[in-house]
Amino acid sequence: MSDIVTRFAPSPTGFLHVGGIRTALFAYLVARQADGQFILRLEDTDQKREVEGSAEHLVASLKALGLTYDQGPDIGGPHAPYKQSQRLETYHAWALRLVEAGRAYADPYSPEELGSLREEARAAKKPFLYRDHRPENPPVWDGKLPLRFRSDPKAYDWHDEVMGDLHTGPEVVDDFILIKSDGYPTYNFAHIVDDAEMGVTHVIRGQEFLSSTPNYLNLYDAYGLDRPVFATMPHIMNEQGNKKLSKRDGAKDVLDYIADGYLPETLVSFIATMGWNDGTEQEVFTMTELVQKFSLERVQRSGARFDEKRLLWMNGQFIRELSLDDLASRVEDFWPDSAASAEPDYKRKVLALVQDRLKTLKDLPTLSNYFFEEPSVDTTLITDNKQLKKLDIAEAKMLLEQAAQALESSEWTPEAIQETLNHLLETTGQKPGILFSLVRIATTWAPFSPQLNDTLTLLGRDRTLMRLKNATDSLT
């Protein structure tokens, strides 16, 4: 085991969106590739923003994607507890160290007083800084007033693995709140205490914390702590790339994607490749490959785009690669109702046929229903079909009858059926685009289906002939 420690530190304020998952995934990969530790820490110090059930939801989402953590609220670990609301004494003790060193003070101002101080700064066209208003004789900190950090403004140079070399001047460093009047620490304070106590070596988090980093550096200095490695994740943008991805752009909860028939492997690969590549043209990665190849330096600085079409394409790729056994175990909840009493062996054959056409597991009913029950006839599939609408009804009926005749005496293997159909092309003088589409639709009434000869083989001769006859009768 190495001493690399990363953490994912979500606040339980809602569902886990793709941006959050990406941060978690990258932190996971950095830990795994170094044989280090990956920690889940719940940052639940903002009680007003907490959403009931979201902590469980976060845990379920990480588990669903295989992002197993080595330490966390539900499994414990050497630095337990991993829930900030259960660590208040720790923050208090760390805060007292600053108070004793003269580096923190009780903030005596009421919100109204602060409001008028801000107003004064605005009128004087000066930036408002708390440190310009430090009380001369601050009251003793009794835990009821907010506790504010007494900063030591200076310029900073630091390196961010993603954002590069950064510099800020002393003007951005200010006194910030460590402990709020409700006794809970701020994120700004608590995460530094926890990262230090938990031995976190790499802080991987979203862009929204970048502007506060000089203040964090100032706090590291005040405690004499070594800085961790910083890696700031740029925002994920909508498909057009013109604004931050939001729910309105269709970004769903990861568990919803799974319920919609996306594979966890797809989500992992898709999320990893939003703003990261390995320097080659490779687009699809397994978790094992990601652990080998991922590096923070190759994460792009500019916002990556969320392209749902790419996600769908990638899911099809992953589904195709699954062994039939694996696929069978994953589609158990996706079969159409009509398959309820079908023989397992028959279902396997159906699955083998449709596997390459599944884009999500949810496509299974549409792609397979006609193997289990009589499809309802929808002649518009013929009359509105680009190719088939050129045929007049009489011609179409005739072709269907000829197909039925030929198939009636054909042997019933995929090869023999193919031969029969090829022969029929010759005798009718039709193109495959017409004849095969017509037979395919007349036997499945589905917008897509697997290869015609395979489909007919599995349907069996009786059903094929019956459906062809029904189709002929329905065309008027």
* Residue closer to ligand GLU (CB basis): 109 or 209: 209
**Quick check: 29 and 294 in contact, CB under 8 A?**
yes
How far is 130 from 327, CA to CA, in rounded Å?
A: 60
* Residue closer to ligand GLU (CB basis): 70 or 454: 70
**Residue appearing with tokens 């066209």:** 125
Q: Show Cβ contacts of residue 264 under 8 Å, excluding neighbours closer than 6 positions.
A: 64, 65, 66, 258
**Quick check: 98 and 148 in contact, CB under 8 A?**
no
CB of 231 to ligand GLU, least distance (A): 10
DSSP string, 265-326: HHHHHHHHTSSB--SSS-----HHHHHHH--GGGB-SSPEE--HHHHHHHHHHHHHHS-HHH
* Residue closer to ligand GLU (CB basis): 40 or 353: 40
Cis peptide, bond prior to residue 81, ω within 30 of zero: yes
CB of 4 to ligand GLU, least distance (A): 16
* Residue closer to ligand GLU (CB basis): 128 or 209: 209
* Residue closer to ligand GLU (CB basis): 91 or 285: 91
CB of 41 to ligand GLU, least distance (A): 8
**Quick check: 74 and 42 in contact, CB under 8 A?**
no
Listed residue (192, 252, 253) closest to 225, CA to CA = 192
What is the radius of gyration, based on Cα positions, of the chain? 31
**Quick check: 298 and 272 in contact, CB under 8 A?**
no
CB of 85 to ligand GLU, least distance (A): 13
Q: Show Cβ contacts of residue 304 under 8 Å, excluding neighbours closer than 6 positions.
A: 234, 236, 237, 274, 275, 276
* Residue closer to ligand GLU (CB basis): 128 or 187: 187
Query: Per the structure block, which two tokens stand in for 122?
Result: 């605005």
CB of 206 to ligand GLU, least distance (A): 6
Query: Hey, which residues are catalytic here?
Result: 247
User: Distance between the two ends of the chain, CA-based, in angstroms?
Assistant: 74
* Residue closer to ligand GLU (CB basis): 153 or 206: 206
How far is 243 from 305, CA to CA, in rounded Å?
A: 9
Helical packing angle, 264-272 and 308-321, nearest 10°: 130
Give me the residues that bind ligand GLU (CB under 6 A), please: 9-11, 43, 187, 191, 205-206, 209
CB of 232 to ligand GLU, least distance (A): 10
DSSP string, 415-472: HHHHHHHHHHHHHHT--HHHHHHHHHHHHH--S--S-HHHHHHHH-HHHHHHHHHHHH
* Residue closer to ligand GLU (CB basis): 9 or 163: 9
CB of 470 to ligand GLU, least distance (A): 59
Query: Per the structure block, which two tokens stand in for 90?
Result: 């720790």
